[in-house]
Amino acid sequence: MTAPKKLPVRPTTDFAKEALFNILSNRFDFTELEVLDLFAGSGNISYEFASRGVPQITCVDVHAGCVKFIYKTAQELSFPITTVKSDVYKYLNASNATFDIIFADPPYVFELEQFENLVEKIFQNKLVKPNGVFIIEHPKQTDLSNFFGYVESRRYGSSMFSFFVGDG
């Protein structure tokens, strides 16, 4: 599935996505999860969750074209995806939902302070369920290991996934 070229997206590579989902499939039963996809872009990660049986996925992106593309694709494929057109931080401040997995793939030009603010918002607002995980995809040069809840990072090519858990 390919997003229209006019969308401002940088989809996760198939190699990195496959590796991530191998990790997650060893930790979670996908058929019982609630997933939040932040900076959802083309919806690439959400479609993968849906194809593996996740029953409830929420995609948040500020770009109207991205949200429209995800909505249309989810409808065509009968995927259980809810789309939200919103600034991610506004969504996080307003949400009282909790999720088993929160995945974020922020813009490539994200500053370290922005990553830290994102982690803080997620955990201050208690959006991750007990035994859940928050995953950030980021460039390999970015070190997030000093942030609250950091557990580990995995590198796949030029992509890095950092995993965070709360107290619960």
Span 142-151, pLDDT tens digits: 999 999 999 9
pLDDT: which is higher, 133 or 7 = 133
Give backbone dihedrals phi and psi of 96, rounded to 5 degrees, phi first.
Answer: -120, 10
| Domains of the chain in sequence order | 30-158 (3.40.50.150)
Question: What local confidence, expressed as pLDDT, does residue 84 receive?
Answer: 98
Question: What local confidence, expressed as pLDDT, does residue 9 receive?
Answer: 47
Question: What local confidence, expressed as pLDDT, does residue 12 receive?
Answer: 66
17 pLDDT higher than 90? no
Mean pLDDT over all residues of the chain? 91
Single out the residue of 77, 16, 23, 81 nearest to residue 49, CA to CA.
Answer: 81
Residue type at 6? K
pLDDT: which is higher, 160 or 107 = 160
Question: What's the pLDDT band for 107 if we cut at 50, 70, 90?
Answer: confident
| pLDDT tens-digit map of 36-92 | 999 999 999 999 999 999 999 999 999 999 999 999 999 999 999 999 999 999 999
Question: What local confidence, expressed as pLDDT, does residue 41 receive?
Answer: 92
Average pLDDT value for residue range 130-147: 94
Give, as one character, the DSSP assignment of residue 168.
-
Quote the CA–CA distance of 90 and 45 in Å, as a whole number: 21
103 pLDDT higher than 50? yes
Sign of CA dihedral 76, 43, 69, 89: positive
Question: What local confidence, expressed as pLDDT, does residue 147 receive?
Answer: 95
